[in-house]
Chains A and B, each alone.
Chain A
Amino acid sequence: MTTAYERFLDYANRADPYPLFPELRETPVARQPDGSYVVSTYREIVALLHDPRVSSDLRNLPEIANIRIAPDDAAPQLPPEFIRRDPPDHDRLRAMVMKHFGPPGAPGRVAGMEPRILQITTELIDRLADRHRIDIVDDFAYPLPVTVICELLGVPREDEPLFHRWSQIAVGTNDPTTGSLVERNRRRFETMAQLGRYLDGLADAHLRAPGDDLLSALVTDDEPARPDVLSTAALLLIAGHETTVNLIANGMLTLLRHPHVLDRLRREPGYAVKVVEELLRYEPPIHMPGPRRTALADITIAGTTIPKGSVIVLVLASGSRDPARFADPDRFDPDRPDNQHLGFGGGIHYCFGAPLARLETRLALGELARRLSGPRLVTDPPPYRPTPNLRGPEHLLIDVDGIRAADDPVRPERVLHP
């Protein structure tokens, strides 16, 4: 018998894993055959996100701490990124970049990116002018955040084919179906080393000619050591370009499945703020963070004791659909009050890039809604990416009657209700 969690991991259920969640939540803290503990209810997830007895540093497990990648590989092994570290290192490393990204050091930076992001959005849509079939993923949802994160970090956009491959491998190592924890972490260390070597070259270049990007800010700052700068930059590059694409794609898919919401968004751009939050609850890109949390002590929660040393998996997407927390959880309702979704996690590892992801997605969906004329899905469900934890369409084909000019005022449009 497979567990509900194992079926959730199964690619066959990728297009619609949600019917499995009620079964998953029947056992809020469920031990799996591999010894890990899967947590699926809102209350318990929130408690563990804020529980200092839960570590995010897998080096607590000797078999991970002992991983040394092949010495003949020219790329030196990087220290784990701050998403995989505990305080005080986590807090120090996060603050080291936050200084240049948000409060207290740079409170207006992300908000200040709005005009540029809108410009990129506009250009991407302009390029579709004479098309009637669009792949929302390849034509729009992917290039947008990649361009943004490249400019923010100071990574050349042309190098995308190079770092995209490493990034995909790294993301894949979070997928529990692709090997044992040790195997996956070894692969991860190897990939991060390659990415690190690439970034090291860039860092040298930025040190010689600094720009106003994050990498320049980090290398010209005396405090952080180079290896920490590299793993932080690698983390931001990966997190910044593998996640938002899914929120935009999931968003467009959801809007097309709920035409009245799409229509309202078209007429009322401010509505995007609530649409984005509800998407993060209803169709979140991260269904669960990669399994990297472990118990530092025996933790008793919801009547189950998670023994010290166990791997803990938090199924955020299930928590966000827990009927004990959200009324009518399987309904997409942007007007939902008190939407404390788990889309960006919680506690000290709360998504670093959340403000940027929110801004990108708000502008992206608002502009798509405004400018696509008569959009409709070609296939529903669309094909999905393989990973269960990072979930989103591989492609999202839609047909349109046309593209409105960027300066076209919103006109009433006939909306097809399914």
Chain B
Amino acid sequence: MRVVVDLTRCQGYGQCVFAAPGVFRMPHAESLMYSGDADRDQVLRAAAACPVQAVLVDEDTVLGRPEGPATPHGDTPVGRIVIVGASLTGLRAAATLRREGYRGALTMIGDEPGEPYDRPPLSKQALTGRSATLDTSLPRRIELDAEWMRGVAAVGVDLDHRRVHLADGRAVEYDRLLIATGVRARPWPNPQEAALDGVVVLRTRQDAEDLRRRLAARPRVLVIGGGFTGSEIASVCRELDLRVTLAERGPAPLQGALGKVIGQIAADMQRDHGVDLRCGVTVTALEGDREGRLCRARLSDGSVLDVELAVAALGSVCNVDWLEGSGLAAGPWGVGCDAGCRVFNANGMVRDDVFVAGDVARFPHPVYGYRFLTLEHWGNAVGQARVAAHNMISAPADRQPHLALPVFWSAQFGVNIKAVGVPAFSDEVVIAQGSVAERRFVAVYGHRGRISAAVTFDQAMWLDFYRDLIEKAAPFPPDADMVGRQAEMRPVPAGIAVRAPAIQDATVVVTGDDLEGRRATLLGAHGSGETVR
């Protein structure tokens, strides 16, 4: 039976480990590992016991195609829905469509072979080779009754004729189109060097299988880039007791996303675990031997490293090439859309028949001053897929906004790091609870006197409290009268390169917990608000 844990929800209660110690592991304080395919009874016990119902398994009661009218909502008949990109976002959107009663034709187009799978384990437990297989297939939650076109890429879309063109020459017509093509790993910029045997990236299952095989040969490793993926790979290397150097252009790992304070903590953590961390340097050249195998790397500080494996963890590139010339607002920034996931055309006007969700979507978030965000997070993919699917089959009045606050997790060096909100939108940060020395703490971020984000190290149980504060636009710093406060609460500069122009910010509160009830309210000068939909 397949299992995936929604680690954005997981609070580290460990009940799944108790119920199924053969499937789930919690080798350190709070970060949860599991194998993707496991004994049915054990997994069902774990799923039932999870206090936040985060253990997702194949459903035993797979629903058939729902009965009901072909057009459950709206005035335009929706009989053909095409989803391009058959991964997490595509699959979740398809499930929502069927769950909400959509009875029409559903076509899933994906250029990867095989069934949709989960990516986060690929940079974590899957690489250590403990789980028997690298099968991280996503559970079947509902009978989709879809036509699958696997291993074939979409190469274009014709908006006038509502048609998607495929690489094999076929075309598929739609009434509604969902773009869920995600991102790919940014390759090492020098093509000759990138082609060396031993220079790799990590995005797909195939990448992970390849990387795992290479790690098994116990190479000397260079990780290029100290973001989440790079740091997680370095962590895996240390778990395997491999010698690893991590080269980061900035002053500290994770600093781009989480700022200077956490960056420094992450740097200490890496060094404590034996990573040869080099910050403020870039890799200037990768060199191969006669057989074209990587043997050496040169760094901007003049140092030379003998390495057999280099993992380029340089971030991502949006999969928008196929939309070039389509007339949609798609580019290196992603695919622009409104908060209801309707895609903008090149004029910046929304279309009612093309939607986007997941890693490739760029959408405005009311809580962050209506700025456009792309969030490459599992939780965002799931949440946005639901909103997009709902809106695809809803009348205009029933459409819903994607207002969920971003939640992210990362497991590295035995610590479960979670974040809610967008730490990059902040000017100050304070350690509100716990102890940095023990690497168990809550850091709270503020933006112009309001709480904008929180990051926890092995303290996930408190995260929802801060989520609520962000949604309420609560003042920063938070109340000092709290349990677990170990030091005086002293805000310091967040140390984040401010990308946003210093415009006057809107103050927005978000209310409601379920999808239907969520609303943003823009607070006016007098504190009274007007609800925006």
Using a CB–CB cutoff of 8 Å, the interface residues on chain A facing chain B are 43, 46-47, 50-56, 86-88, 90-91, 102-104, 107-108, 110-111, 270, 273-274, 276-277, 296-297, 308, 338-340, 344, 346-348, 350, 354-355, 358
Query: Is B13 an interface residue, CB under 8 A from the partner?
Result: yes
Known interface pairs A53-B483, A347-B461; 6 further A-B residue pairs with C-beta atoms within 8 A, sorted by A's residue number: A47-B465, A53-B481, A88-B484, A91-B440, A103-B17, A348-B461
B264 CB to closest chain A CB (Å) equals 22
Least CB separation from A342: chain B residue:
B51
Is A338 in contact with B53, judged by CB distance below 8 angstroms? yes
Is B479 in contact with A53, judged by CB distance below 8 angstroms? yes
Query: Is B49 an interface residue, CB under 8 A from the partner?
Result: yes
Q: Which among B24-32, B152-160, B182-190, B191-199 touches the partner chain?
A: B24-32
Is A50 in contact with B17, judged by CB distance below 8 angstroms? no
Residues of B within 8 A of A110 (CB): 18
* B489-533 residues at the A interface, CB under 8 angstroms: 513
Residues of B within 8 A of A104 (CB): 26-29
Q: Which among B40-48, B377-385, B404-412 touches the partner chain?
A: B40-48
Q: Which of B25, B41, B483 is within 8 Å of A87, CB to CB? A: B483
Give the docked Cα–Cα distance between A273 and B57 (Å): 15
Residues of B within 8 A of A355 (CB): 15, 18-19, 49
Is B18 in contact with A102, judged by CB distance below 8 angstroms? yes
B418 CB to closest chain A CB (Å) equals 13
Is A111 in contact with B51, judged by CB distance below 8 angstroms? no
Query: Is B482 an interface residue, CB under 8 A from the partner?
Result: yes
Is B48 in contact with A274, judged by CB distance below 8 angstroms? yes
User: Can you give 28 contacting A-B residue pairs, CB < 8 Å?
Assistant: A47-B464, A50-B464, A52-B465, A53-B479, A53-B481, A56-B483, A87-B484, A88-B434, A88-B486, A91-B484, A102-B17, A103-B17, A103-B18, A103-B25, A104-B27, A107-B21, A107-B25, A273-B48, A276-B48, A277-B48, A296-B482, A296-B483, A297-B479, A297-B482, A339-B48, A340-B51, A340-B52, A350-B13
Residues of B within 8 A of A46 (CB): 464
A102 CB to closest chain B CB (Å) equals 6
Query: Is B423 an interface residue, CB under 8 A from the partner?
Result: no
Is B486 in contact with A339, judged by CB distance below 8 angstroms? no
Over the window 464-477 of chain B, the binary record of Cβ atoms lying under 8 Å from chain A Cβ atoms (1 yes, 0 no) is 11001000000000
Is B14 in contact with A102, judged by CB distance below 8 angstroms? yes
Nearest first, the 3 A-B pairs at minimum CB distance are A87-B484, A355-B18, A86-B483
A97 CB to closest chain B CB (Å) equals 13
Residues of A within 8 A of B461 (CB): 50, 347-348
Give the docked Cα–Cα distance between A329 and B15 (Å): 24
B76 CB to closest chain A CB (Å) equals 32
Give the docked Cα–Cα distance between A346 and B41 (Å): 25
Is A103 in contact with B14, judged by CB distance below 8 angstroms? yes
Using a CB–CB cutoff of 8 Å, the interface residues on chain B facing chain A are 13-15, 17-21, 25-29, 41, 44-45, 48-49, 51-53, 432-435, 440, 461-462, 464-465, 468, 479, 481-484, 486, 513
Give the docked Cα–Cα distance between A104 and B440 (Å): 16
Give the docked Cα–Cα distance between A308 and B479 (Å): 12
Give the docked Cα–Cα distance between A339 and B49 (Å): 9
Give the docked Cα–Cα distance between A86 and B433 (Å): 12
A110 CB to closest chain B CB (Å) equals 5
Is A107 in contact with B19, judged by CB distance below 8 angstroms? no
Is B513 in contact with A43, judged by CB distance below 8 angstroms? yes
Is B465 in contact with A51, judged by CB distance below 8 angstroms? yes
B73 CB to closest chain A CB (Å) equals 22
Is B434 in contact with A87, judged by CB distance below 8 angstroms? yes
A365 CB to closest chain B CB (Å) equals 14
Residues of B within 8 A of A277 (CB): 48-49
Is B483 in contact with A55, judged by CB distance below 8 angstroms? yes
> Given A103-B18, A107-B21: A50 and B465 within 8 A (CB)?
yes
Q: Which of A111, A296, A297, A339 is within 8 Å of B19, CB to CB? A: A111
Residues of A within 8 A of B41 (CB): 270
Give the docked Cα–Cα distance between A90 and B434 (Å): 12
Least CB separation from A297: chain B residue:
B481
Least CB separation from B52: chain A residue:
A340
Residues of B within 8 A of A103 (CB): 14, 17-18, 21, 25-27
Residues of B within 8 A of A274 (CB): 48
Give the docked Cα–Cα distance between A22 and B1 (Å): 40
Give the docked Cα–Cα distance between A339 and B52 (Å): 9
Is A87 in contact with B433, judged by CB distance below 8 angstroms? yes
Residues of B within 8 A of A54 (CB): 483
Which of B13, B53, B432, B468 has the most chain A CB atoms closer than 10 A to its own CB?
A: B13
Is B465 in contact with A107, judged by CB distance below 8 angstroms? no
Residues of B within 8 A of A354 (CB): 15, 18, 49
Residues of A within 8 A of B433 (CB): 52, 87
> Given A43-B513, A103-B25: A50 and B483 within 8 A (CB)?
no
Least CB separation from B17: chain A residue:
A103
Residues of A within 8 A of B481 (CB): 53, 296-297, 308
Which of A43, A346, A355 has the most chain B CB atoms closer than 10 A to its own CB?
A: A355
B410 CB to closest chain A CB (Å) equals 18
Give the docked Cα–Cα distance between A347 and B51 (Å): 10
Give the docked Cα–Cα distance between A50 and B459 (Å): 11
Residues of B within 8 A of A358 (CB): 19, 49
Give the docked Cα–Cα distance between A270 and B28 (Å): 31
Give the docked Cα–Cα distance between A180 and B479 (Å): 30
Is A339 in contact with B484, judged by CB distance below 8 angstroms? no
A254 CB to closest chain B CB (Å) equals 17
Give the docked Cα–Cα distance between A344 and B440 (Å): 24
Give the docked Cα–Cα distance between A301 and B19 (Å): 35
> Given A50-B465, A270-B44: A107 and B26 within 8 A (CB)?
yes
A414 CB to closest chain B CB (Å) equals 28
Residues of A within 8 A of B468 (CB): 47
Residues of B within 8 A of A347 (CB): 461
